[in-house]
A and B are shown apart, each in its own frame.
Chain A
Amino acid sequence: MEWLFRSEFDAITTVALWSIAVVVATTIVLFVYTLGLRFATLASDRRRARFIRAWRDVFASAMLSEDAARQCTLPPVGRSSRTDLLEEWNHSRSMVDGTAAENLIVLARRTGIPGLALNLLHKRRVRPRILAVQTFGHLRDSRRRDDIRSLLDHENTALSITAAVALVDIDPSYAVPIVIPMIEKRRDWPRNRISIMLRMAGSERISEPMYRAIRSANNANRTYLLQFSRLIEAEVLDALLEDLIRDSNDPGVLNAALKLVGGFGGVPRIAALTQHDAWFVRMQAAKVLGRIGQEEHLSLLESLLDDPEWWVRYRAAQAIASLPFLGPNCLRRLRERQSDRYASDILQQSFAEVGLA
């Protein structure tokens, strides 16, 4: 070992040796941790599988009969299985509605699920709190309404949107006026979950608040909120779209509104929008005119066939191809009279798509 203590090499060798020691120790720690993790996962998977096997039958029979929910024998729930019980109950509860859901709530009260959820509600970690909020929502437990409402502003997206969904689950009439104004504020809420929440609340409950929220929002928020307006009642939606298309000149709002147009209101304004500066507004207007299918709009649609934007040409050509009063021969003649190559090409493609090549 004399070399270790010789001349100028000592310092660097010492650094290298210490580094090796640290590296080896860290590697061993990670290795042992990984092995431990593997054993723990295996043990927990087995325990969970046993637990779920036992409880799944209980949930299934409870869903079918209230008597079973009140009287069936309950398998034991160990301390380590409490979260599994909540997760499994929530899973079963999320799949049913009506009497089956009521029965599951009865069963939950027997098993002490509300108490377990209450213990989790005020934990520091977010995950248990999400589970608790979800549980209270599924239990439709109105006593926790205020606790859950206070979580709507929580910085954690998952917790906050879960609280909104739970609130709607507990009492939609109470929740809708609270959560709808939150949608434009909480842009971090996943759109799919907002959509689920609004559907749960029901179109008759959300129509008026959504109408008001969209009408009073600025253009950016309006465009955002319009995505969810498919879920409101048809007549409210038609009135809203007619107002927006008539009053707004914002390309984003017009684009979002035109995408939703299903009725025949405001047709002259829509026809005028085929000349809008924003290409996507012209494109949406062409689509709507194709859907409406009135003969007077043919020349407007034809004028869009040489639009500088491909998508406008394409949608206009598709709209023309779908017009009910134009037979195959008319369509062919229409294509032949196009002097512009872009117009001719796009008509050829669109006609081919509907089998008129």
Chain B
Amino acid sequence: MTLQDFVLSGQWVFLAYFIGINVGYLLQNVIAAWGIRRYLQTAEQFEAESVFSSLDIPISVIVPAFNESASIITSVKAMLQLEYPQYELIVVNDGSTDDTLQKLVDEFRMQEFPEAYRARVPCAQVRGVFRSTQQGNLRVVDKENGGSKADAANAGINIARYPLVCIVDADSVLQPDSLRRVVRPFLEDPTTVAVGGTVRISNGCTIRQGFLEKVGLPSNFLALVQVVEYLRAFLFGRMGWSPINGLLIISGAFGLFHKETLVEAGGYNPKAVGEDMELVLRLHRLMKSKRKPYRITFVPDPVCWTDAPSNLRDLKSQRVRWQNGLGQALALNRELITDPRGGTVTWVAIPFYVIFELFGPIIEVAGYLFIIICALMGWIAWPQAAIFLGLAIGLGVLLSTSAIMLEEQSFHMYPRFKQLALLYLVAIFENFGFRQLTAVWRFQGLMRWLRGREHKWETLTRSDNLADEET
């Protein structure tokens, strides 16, 4: 093979890859647009007539908390005000080294309670269960630190009393009606085993008493870029898979599960880095092995708002962890890849995730390097290199533009023209540096997974949005 052949082949490979991945995303976009439209058509009526009745399914809301002293009271108070007829709130103090537990005990007059605890899914030693003398539906599980959110969530699952469990991050801001919205697929289709909801970025929003008061955009560029990223990830990344029952991930920040199915699957894997995706893959595996019809679905409503990393250190750590978790989750559930009865999951979703999401960073980073090196060495002309880079950037802008369009068509959360303009500017400028940087981080995450390194709870720098307010 001559150098010219090598360069030409390389160009075809990278071009095919970039076009392939983006055609895949655009197809998801089309499915998502159809799915959102269908969802919204019935949502209005569902909401109008959704009076609470004895038919609503009670929910156990589980909040794993590790060193959340700064915001736990505000979060719990807000979660106690959710609009849902019957739910309990279980906060799991995962061996916090700060005064998270003491604050809860003082604020909600918690008393240690002789709970007949049963360990149905694995977790670290439970030290005690507290019950609020003020709020009948609030309990706190105090346990040894298990080293992961998954371990804490499992402790909550073990004492949950209701048929559905909702796992929520302690720093998540929920919409008051989020449970009502996310429970809808369970009411409509009894074969539903898990439901995810759209997570949005809370940086730049006004939050009072743990509730979202006004939607805004952050001034920090990194956080701003993530607003557009989340629109892409949730509005078509998840909504594109849900109608074809190929959803492989439900965000750890907010997910609703059928408890008995969750227990049957073994609960969260405390060793998993990406415990949320690993669990969903395991649920697929379980249900397919049982040969029973099931749905793992997604509601596009923005039900949960979360704080995004706003500095490079935290963002890098998050992206490395996500990629590491993706690799691990797929490897742990590799049986799904070869399951002849795997349906959309085996034949469409997993190949897409393996080729474009897991190994994508290798091709993406290599593609950029290849074009630059070829241009520097004079193997291809600079204008030609610019065309290839321009195509990569153009496809990136196109995807973000389509996500913004979906948002405009559906939930219209950013009503000011200035906000719309800012989202478009970000859709363009994120392609100059940010996207390449995240590709490098994802590459590092991939390497970390291949080397088999472990991950633990991380303390990220938080915005002041959720800090407990003086009362």
Name the distance in Å between A166's Cβ and chain B's nearest Cβ: 13
CB of A99 within 8 A of chain B?
Answer: no
User: Cβ of A8 and Cβ of B8 under 8 Å apart?
Assistant: yes
Q: List the B side residues contacting A346 at CB < 8 Å.
A: 116
Q: List the A side residues contacting B4 at CB < 8 Å.
A: 7-8
Name the distance in Å between A29's Cβ and chain B's nearest Cβ: 9
User: Cβ of A193 and Cβ of B49 under 8 Å apart?
Assistant: yes
Name the distance in Å between A224's Cβ and chain B's nearest Cβ: 9
User: Cβ of B11 and Cβ of A12 under 8 Å apart?
Assistant: yes
- Pick from A23, A38, A94, A345: contact of B391, CB under 8 Å: A23
Q: List the B side residues contacting A313 at CB < 8 Å.
A: 116
CB of B402 within 8 A of chain A?
Answer: yes
CB of A19 within 8 A of chain B?
Answer: yes
Q: List the A side residues contacting B332 at CB < 8 Å.
A: none
Q: List the B side residues contacting A196 at CB < 8 Å.
A: 49, 51
Contact with A along B42-59 (1 / 0, CB 8 A): 100110111101111000
Name the distance in Å between B471's Cβ and chain A's nearest Cβ: 29
Complex Cα distance, B55 from A195, in Å, reads 8
Q: List the A side residues contacting B391 at CB < 8 Å.
A: 16, 19-20, 23
| Chain A, interface SS category | helix
CB of A34 within 8 A of chain B?
Answer: yes
Contact with A along B108-138 (1 / 0, CB 8 A): 0000011110100000000000000000000
User: Cβ of A190 and Cβ of B46 under 8 Å apart?
Assistant: yes
Q: List the A side residues contacting B50 at CB < 8 Å.
A: 192
Complex Cα distance, B414 from A34, in Å, reads 13
CB of B397 within 8 A of chain A?
Answer: yes
- Pick from B118, B387, B390, B398: contact of A30, CB under 8 Å: B398
**Stretch in B310-318, B377-385, B435-443 touching the partner:** B377-385
Closest to B50 in A: A192
User: Cβ of A190 and Cβ of B187 under 8 Å apart?
Assistant: yes
- Pick from B41, B48, B113, B402: contact of A126, CB under 8 Å: B41
User: Cβ of A352 and Cβ of B397 under 8 Å apart?
Assistant: no
Q: List the A side residues contacting B376 at CB < 8 Å.
A: none
- Pick from A13, A30, A190, A195: contact of B384, CB under 8 Å: A13
Number of interface residues of A (CB under 8 A): 50
User: Cβ of B424 and Cβ of A31 under 8 Å apart?
Assistant: yes
CB of B432 within 8 A of chain A?
Answer: no
CB of A357 within 8 A of chain B?
Answer: yes
**A-B CB pair tally, cutoff 8 Å:** 112
Closest to B133 in A: A355
- Pick from B41, B118, B390: contact of A310, CB under 8 Å: B118
List B255-287 residues whose CB lies under 8 Å from chain A. none
Q: List the A side residues contacting B387 at CB < 8 Å.
A: 13, 16-17, 20
Q: List the B side residues contacting A19 at CB < 8 Å.
A: 15, 19, 391, 394
List B14-63 residues whose CB lies under 8 Å from chain A. 15, 19, 41-42, 45-46, 48-51, 53-56
Complex Cα distance, B43 from A127, in Å, reads 12
Q: List the B side residues contacting A126 at CB < 8 Å.
A: 41
Name the distance in Å between B126's Cβ and chain A's nearest Cβ: 13
User: Cβ of B8 and Cβ of A27 under 8 Å apart?
Assistant: no
Name the distance in Å between B223's Cβ and chain A's nearest Cβ: 22
Name the distance in Å between A8's Cβ and chain B's nearest Cβ: 5
Complex Cα distance, B392 from A16, in Å, reads 10
User: Cβ of A31 and Cβ of B401 under 8 Å apart?
Assistant: yes
Complex Cα distance, B116 from A339, in Å, reads 16
Complex Cα distance, B111 from A220, in Å, reads 44
Name the distance in Å between B304's Cβ and chain A's nearest Cβ: 23
Closest to B18 in A: A19
Name the distance in Å between A211's Cβ and chain B's nearest Cβ: 19
User: Cβ of A12 and Cβ of B8 under 8 Å apart?
Assistant: yes
Q: List the B side residues contacting A157 at CB < 8 Å.
A: 42
Q: List the B side residues contacting A230 at CB < 8 Å.
A: 54
Given the known inter-chain contacts A3-B383, A27-B401, please indicate yes or no for A310 contacting B116, CB distance below 8 A: yes
Complex Cα distance, B421 from A23, in Å, reads 20
User: Cβ of B394 and Cβ of A127 under 8 Å apart?
Assistant: no
- Pick from B55, B397, B404: contact of A34, CB under 8 Å: B404
Closest to B390 in A: A20
Name the distance in Å between A317's Cβ and chain B's nearest Cβ: 8
Contact with A along B403-421 (1 / 0, CB 8 A): 0110011001000010010
User: Cβ of A227 and Cβ of B116 under 8 Å apart?
Assistant: no
List A329-357 residues whose CB lies under 8 Å from chain B. 342, 345-346, 348-349, 352, 357
- Pick from A31, A35, A192, A352: contact of B51, CB under 8 Å: A192
Q: List the A side residues contacting B401 at CB < 8 Å.
A: 27, 30-31, 34
List A9-50 residues whose CB lies under 8 Å from chain B. 9, 12-13, 15-17, 19-20, 23-24, 26-27, 30-31, 33-35, 37-38, 41
Q: List the A side residues contacting B424 at CB < 8 Å.
A: 31
CB of A103 within 8 A of chain B?
Answer: no
Name the distance in Å between B189's Cβ and chain A's nearest Cβ: 8
In order of increasing CB-CB distance, the 6 nearest A-B pairs are: A3-B381, A23-B394, A345-B116, A348-B114, A349-B116, A346-B116
Q: List 19 A-B contacts (CB under 8 A).
A: A3-B384, A19-B19, A19-B391, A19-B394, A20-B391, A23-B397, A27-B398, A30-B402, A31-B401, A34-B408, A37-B408, A41-B412, A94-B48, A158-B41, A158-B45, A193-B49, A195-B53, A345-B116, A349-B113
Show the binding face of B for A, using Cβ within 8 Å: 4, 8, 11-12, 15, 19, 41-42, 45-46, 48-51, 53-56, 113-116, 118, 187-188, 380-381, 383-384, 387-388, 390-391, 394-395, 397-398, 401-402, 404-405, 408-409, 412, 417, 420, 424
